[in-house]
Chain A
C-alpha cells in the first residue's frame, strides 16, 4: 500500500484541520530555518563562511588534481568489485542450490562467514596480508585490499540474493522444467536462474550502491579514493569542512541516481518475470543480511 498508505492514515481535512496543518507546516519550516540559522552562526563564528573557502571548491585545480582523480579511483575500485562480486555471488549462489550436499555445505559456510565479518576488518586483513606476500606492488596493495574485501562481502550477499531469488519463484516453474524433460541443472540454468536474475536486478543495483559507499572505507587503509583526496585538498587549503561536504555531495548524487534507477527498474521488470522484483528489505545499509529465510 506504499503510496496510498499515507492517505488512508488521515481523513481528508476539514477547515479546522487545514488550519492546523498550515500552522504546523509553518512551524516546521521555521524549525528548519532556526536550525539553519544556528548552523550558519556556528560556521560564521569559526570563519568557515569566508568566500574563498567555498569558491576554491569550484576551481579547475581542485577538480583536476583532487576530485576527479578521487572519483576515478572510487569508480575503478567499485567497478572491479561489482564484477568480481557478481561472479563470486553466481558461483556460491548456485553452489547453495546444488543437489550435492557437500557443495551446498561448503557454499553455506563460506557465504555465512563472509556475511558476518565486517568489511573493514577484511580490508585491514588483506591490506596487511597482501603487503606481506609481495604478490602485488606496494602501491597497488590498498587497491586490491579494497576490491577483495568488497568482493568477499558483497559476493556473499549476492549469493544469498540469488538463492532467495530462485526460492521466490513459483514452484510450477521448476516442475514445468522437469516435466518437459530437462534435468535439475538444466532447469536451474535455463528456467530458474534467468527469471531469478531479472527479479533480483533492483536488489542487485541497491547492492552496487552499498559497494560504492563502502569503497570509502579504503580511506582508512590509505587507498586514495574520493574521501581521501577531499581530505588532502582540504588540509592543504585549510577548508577541510567544505571539501568533505563536496565529497559527500558527489557520493549522494551518484548513489541517488543508482537508487532511483533501481526503483524504476523494479516497476519496469515486474512484467518480465514470475518472481518478485520488489526488494524484500529496505535497501541495505552498508552491510545487511537480506530477508531471513
Chain B
C-alpha cells in the first residue's frame, strides 16, 4: 500500500499537475471576460428596437447553443488555423491557447446572453415603463434602469455558466492545448497502475475549484438580490 502512494507521489515529480491546472484557470479567466462582453452585447441586441440586430442575436444564440463545443474547437484548429492559415501567435502553444480562448468565448457567450435575458425577465414591467415615462430612450433606460437590475437577477444563471465554462476548459484538449485532461491522459498512459489515484486527484481538483464558485454564486445572488 505504501509503495502505491510512493508510486503515485513520484508522478508529481515527473508531471507538473499544478501548471496544467493553471492553464485551465487562465483559459477560464480570459474566456469568462470575453464571453461576458460578447454575451452582454448579444443580450442588448436581442432586446433592442432594431429588428435586424434582434434577428442576428437570436440566430447566433440558437446556432451556437445547439453546436457541440468540441466541433467549435476542432473547427477552429483544423478548419480556420490549418486550412485558412490564420496564425494568432508566432508561438505554437500560444497560438492554440488563443484559439481555445476564442472557441470557449464564442460558445459560452450564447449562454451568458440567455442568462442576462432571463435576468431581464426578472425586472418588473413597471421599471421599464417608469424609465420611458421620464423620457429615457432605449439605450439610457437599458444602461441605467434595466441592466443593473437584470445583472443582479442573473447572478445564479451567470454563476452556473461560469462553472460550466471552468469544466469545459478541459475540452481545449481537442484544440491541442496541454491542460489538465490531456496531462491526465498522459499520466495514466505512463503509469496505468495508479489510474484511480490520478483520476481522483484531477476530480478533486475540479471539486475544489467548482464548489467555492457555486457557494459564492449562491451567496452573491442573495446579497445582491433586488428586494421587491
How far apart are A46's CB and chain B's nearest CB, in angstroms?
5
Query: Once the chains bind, are B117 and A247 in contact (CB under 8 Å)?
Result: no
Query: Once the chains bind, are A219 and B47 in contact (CB under 8 Å)?
Result: no
Is A245 among interface residues, defined by CB-CB distance under 8 A? yes
Q: Interface size (A, Cβ < 8 Å)?
A: 69
Interface centre among A48, A117, A213 (most CB of B within 10 A): A117
Query: Once the chains bind, are A287 and B167 in contact (CB under 8 Å)?
Result: yes
Stretch at the interface among B1-9, B10-18, B89-97, B185-193: B185-193
Query: Once the chains bind, are B168 and A292 in contact (CB under 8 Å)?
Result: no
Query: Once the chains bind, are B74 and A244 in contact (CB under 8 Å)?
Result: yes
Is B52 among interface residues, defined by CB-CB distance under 8 A? yes
Query: Once the chains bind, are A25 and B51 in contact (CB under 8 Å)?
Result: yes
Task: Tell me which of B70, B129, B164 contacts A288 (CB under 8 A).
Answer: B164
How far apart are A33's CB and chain B's nearest CB, in angstroms?
11
Q: Interface size (B, Cβ < 8 Å)?
A: 82
Is A2 among interface residues, defined by CB-CB distance under 8 A? yes
Is A261 among interface residues, defined by CB-CB distance under 8 A? no
Q: How many A-B residue pairs have CB under 8 A?
A: 219
Q: How far is the CA of A285 from the CA of B199 in the complex (A)?
A: 24
Is A281 among interface residues, defined by CB-CB distance under 8 A? yes
Given contacts A10-B138, A124-B185, A287-B164, whether A251 and B66 have CB atoms under 8 Å apart is: yes
Q: For window 208-255 of chain A, which residues contact chain B by CB distance below 8 Å?
A: 209, 213-217, 219-220, 227, 231, 234, 240-241, 244-245, 247-248, 251-252, 255
Closest to A209 in B: B66
Q: How far is the CA of A209 from the CA of B85 in the complex (A)?
A: 33
Given contacts A240-B78, A259-B66, whether A5 and B170 have CB atoms under 8 Å apart is: no
With a cutoff of 8 Å between Cβ atoms, the chain A residues found around residue B184 in the complex are 121, 124-125
How far apart are A195's CB and chain B's nearest CB, in angstroms?
24
Closest to B139 in A: A10
Query: Once the chains bind, are A46 and B85 in contact (CB under 8 Å)?
Result: yes
Given contacts A121-B184, A287-B164, whether A9 and B47 have CB atoms under 8 Å apart is: yes
Chain A positions 48 through 59: 1 when the CB is less than 8 Å from some CB of chain B, otherwise 0: 100000000000
Q: How far is the CA of A32 from the CA of B202 in the complex (A)?
A: 43
Task: Tell me which of A234, A282, A285 contacts B117 (CB under 8 A).
Answer: A282
With a cutoff of 8 Å between Cβ atoms, the chain B residues found around residue A214 in the complex are 68
How far apart are A50's CB and chain B's nearest CB, in angstroms?
12
Given contacts A32-B56, A292-B217, whether A5 and B132 have CB atoms under 8 Å apart is: no
Query: Once the chains bind, are B160 and A289 in contact (CB under 8 Å)?
Result: yes
How far apart are B132's CB and chain A's nearest CB, in angstroms?
6
Interface centre among A11, A116, A256, A289 (most CB of B within 10 A): A116
Query: Once the chains bind, are B160 and A290 in contact (CB under 8 Å)?
Result: yes
With a cutoff of 8 Å between Cβ atoms, the chain A residues found around residue B163 in the complex are 287-289
Task: Tell me which of A2, A116, A241 contacts B211 (CB under 8 A).
Answer: A116
Query: Once the chains bind, are A244 and B75 in contact (CB under 8 Å)?
Result: yes
Query: Once the chains bind, are A1 and B121 in contact (CB under 8 Å)?
Result: yes
Query: Once the chains bind, are A11 and B132 in contact (CB under 8 Å)?
Result: yes
Is A137 among interface residues, defined by CB-CB distance under 8 A? no
With a cutoff of 8 Å between Cβ atoms, the chain A residues found around residue B87 in the complex are none
Is A176 among interface residues, defined by CB-CB distance under 8 A? no
Q: For window 68-94 of chain B, which residues contact chain A by CB distance below 8 Å?
A: 68-72, 74-75, 78-80, 82-86
Since A219-B74, A256-B62, A291-B156 are in contact, a sample of 19 more A-B pairs with Cβ atoms closer than 8 Å, ordered by chain A residue number, is: A10-B49, A10-B132, A113-B207, A120-B171, A125-B184, A129-B195, A215-B68, A227-B70, A241-B80, A244-B74, A244-B79, A252-B67, A282-B157, A283-B114, A285-B164, A289-B163, A289-B214, A292-B214, A292-B218
Residues of B that sit less than 8 Å from A by CB: 47, 49-54, 56, 62-63, 65-72, 74-75, 78-80, 82-86, 107-108, 111, 114-115, 117-118, 120-121, 123-125, 128-129, 132, 137-138, 141-142, 146, 156-157, 159-161, 163-165, 167-168, 170-171, 173-174, 180-181, 184-185, 188-189, 192, 195-196, 199, 202-203, 206-207, 210-211, 214, 217-218, 221
Give me 29 A-to-B residue pairs in the complex whose CB atoms sit less than 8 angstroms apart, sorted by A's number: A9-B128, A9-B138, A9-B146, A24-B50, A25-B51, A28-B56, A29-B52, A117-B207, A120-B173, A125-B195, A125-B199, A216-B70, A220-B174, A227-B74, A231-B74, A240-B79, A241-B75, A241-B84, A244-B79, A245-B79, A248-B67, A251-B66, A251-B71, A282-B115, A282-B157, A285-B161, A286-B164, A288-B163, A289-B214
In the complex, the 4 A-B pairs of residues with the closest C-beta atoms, listed nearest first: A282-B114, A216-B68, A255-B66, A28-B52
